[in-house]
Chain A
C-alpha cells in the first residue's frame, strides 16, 4: 500500500477551525416542528457526533449549519465572530460524485464550479487522491469504482476544499463493515484539526470517532456525552463498550 504512507499525515487546514454555538434554533416544515429550540456547543477542532433515530432532526441541523436551510428561530454563532459561509465542506451519505467526471475531476469539482483554472489545482487533486489511496484510479469514472472507493473520492473532494469546518451526514452508512471501519480511520486521520460535525445513527461509530456525542430526539438535544481518549478508538475496549450502553439507554429513553 504505497498510498498509506502519505495518508499518515493529516491534511492541515489553512485556517484555524472555529467552534460553533447553536442557540435555540427552531425549524418547522409546513407546521411540523423539526428542530425545537435546540442548544448545542461544538468545540473548535474536535469531532462532535449527532446521534439519533431517523427523523429526529439530525440532518436538518446539518443543513442549517451548511447554510442550506433558513431558520424559523434562534441563531448559529461562530466563536471567532466571522460568518460560517464559505468555511464549511459537506460530505453526505450519497457520495455526490458527478458520473460524467473522472475521479480526479470530481475531486476538483469546487474549482470547476467556481470557474477556477483546472491546471492550477490538478497537482493538488493528484496528491489528495494519493492520500486516499486512489492515485491509480484518478482517471476512472465513478461508475467503475466500488462504494468505498467512491466515498474516498468524496473525502478527497472534501479535503480539496480545505474548509475548517466539515459537516458529515452518515457518510459511511452505506458501506460494508470492513470498508466502513477503514474509511472511518482514514477520514479521521486526514480531517485532522478541523471542526467536524458527524451525523450518524450508529452509537459505535460516534464513540469511535467523536470527542463528544449528542443524542437528539424530537428536534432537541437530550443528552451530551464526552468521550475519553484519542480517536479513532478501539471499538472492542471495555471503556467504549460501557459508553455504548449509556448511549443505548439514552437513545431508547429519548
Chain B
C-alpha cells in the first residue's frame, strides 16, 4: 500500500471503502507466501536463529516482550507524530512566507535547495549533543528530514494557481489575504497533500536514526539493545512493530488527506457517465425562443 502511492501528486481512484478492504485483502496472499518462504529458508537452510530467526520465533518474542515493546512503540510513535506535525507546520508556513513576502523566494529558496545537500543523518550526533538523549533530538531529526519535501511541494502548489482564477478573484475585489486563504491555499492542497504523504513515509526514518544515535527508549533503542545481545528475534519483533506503526501512520494521514480533498476524488467525475436521476430538471437543452 505504501509503495503503491508514495509521493504521487494526483490520487489514484479510491472510491468506496469496499475497495480499501480489497487492497488489504489482496496483500494477504503475498504476505503469506513471504512468511512461508522465510520459514522454509530457516528450516531447510538451517540458518542460525541469531542470524535469521523463524517467523514463529519472532512472533513468540513479540508476545513475550509485548509490554516493553508497546512502551517503546508509544515513545517512537509520539516522536514521529510530533516531528510530522512540527515539520508540516513549519514547512507549509515557510512555503506561504516564501510565496507571500516579496522577493523571499528568490533569496531563500536557493539556500534551502543547497541545504538539502547536507546529509541530515550526519547531523544526528550534533542534535543529540545539543538536545540530549530525550525525545527532543528525535523530533528534531524527523522535523528536519520532512521539512524540505513539504516546503517544495507546498511552494509548487502555491505558485501554480490557475491564472484565470486569480484574474477572476481580482475582478471580484479579493484582497491579497482573501486570495491566499480562499483561493491559493485550497488550490495548493493537492500538492501540499502529496508533500505530507512523503513526510508521513519518511518521518519514521528520522525518528529511528535519532534513536540509534543515542537514546534510552523507543523502538530504535530496543533494536539496538537486542542486536547487541544477539536477541535477533526481539530485534525483528521491534522491527515488525516499527513497520506496523509506520504503515498505520501512513494510512491515517492518507485517510485524513482524502477527507480534506473531498472534491478531488475520481468518483466525482461523472461527466462521462451523467447521473440519470439528474436529467429532467437540469439538462442543457433549455427551451429557446
Contact = CB atoms under 8 A, between A and B. Distances in A.
Interface of A: 1-4, 7, 63, 66-68, 86, 88-90, 92, 94, 96, 98-100, 109-110, 112-115, 133-137, 141-144, 146-149, 152, 161, 175, 178-179, 181-183, 185-186, 232
Contacts of A66: 167, 171
Contact of A186 (B170, B262, B263, B286): B286
A63 B289 contact: no
B167 A90 contact: yes
Interface stretch (B81-89, B178-186, B193-201): B178-186
Interface of B: 162, 164-165, 167-175, 178-179, 182-183, 186-187, 189, 262-264, 268-271, 274-275, 278, 281-282, 284-289
Contacts of B172: 109-110, 113-114, 161
Nearest to B173: A114
B164 A114 contact: no
A140 B237 CA distance: 49
Contacts of B268: 141, 143-144
19 contacts: A2-B281, A4-B287, A67-B170, A67-B171, A96-B168, A98-B187, A100-B189, A100-B262, A110-B172, A110-B173, A113-B169, A113-B172, A114-B178, A115-B178, A137-B278, A142-B263, A144-B268, A178-B285, A185-B286
Contact of B288 (A110, A114, A137, A232): A232
A240 B288 CA distance: 18
B171 A141 contact: no
A113 B173 contact: yes
A179 B268 CA distance: 22
A100 B167 contact: no
Nearest to B172: A110
Contacts of A100: 186, 189, 262-263
A92 B281 contact: no
A112, A141, A143, A183, most chain B CB atoms within 10 A: A143
The 8 A-B residue pairs whose C-beta atoms are closest, nearest first, are A148-B284, A113-B174, A143-B268, A179-B284, A110-B172, A100-B263, A185-B288, A182-B286
B288 A182 contact: yes
B288 A181 contact: yes
Contacts of A89: 171
Contacts of B174: 113-114
Contacts of B169: 113
Contacts, number: 113
A86 B173 contact: yes
Contacts of B171: 66-68, 88-90
What DSSP secondary structure best describes chain A's contact surface?
helix
B275 A144 contact: yes
A80 B100 CA distance: 37
B166 to A, nearest CB: 9
A68 B170 contact: yes
Contact of A147 (B164, B187, B262, B271): B271
A108 to B, nearest CB: 10
B127 to A, nearest CB: 39
A166 to B, nearest CB: 11
A26 to B, nearest CB: 21
Contacts of B289: 185, 232
A28 B263 CA distance: 39
Contact of A99 (B170, B264, B282, B284): B264
A238 B174 CA distance: 46
A194 B20 CA distance: 52
A92 B168 contact: yes
A144 B265 CA distance: 11
A48 B171 CA distance: 20
A94 B167 CA distance: 11
B164, B174, B286, most chain A CB atoms within 10 A: B286
Nearest to A186: B286
Nearest to B289: A185
A143 B273 CA distance: 12
B287 A1 contact: yes
B168, B187, B289, most chain A CB atoms within 10 A: B168
Given A115-B175, A146-B284, 20 more contacts: A3-B281, A67-B170, A68-B167, A96-B165, A98-B186, A98-B187, A113-B175, A113-B178, A113-B183, A115-B178, A136-B281, A143-B269, A143-B271, A147-B271, A149-B282, A149-B284, A175-B284, A178-B285, A182-B288, A183-B286
Contacts of A179: 284-285
A4 B281 CA distance: 10
B285 to A, nearest CB: 6
B287 A146 contact: no
Contacts of A67: 170-171
A136 B282 contact: yes
A67 B162 CA distance: 18
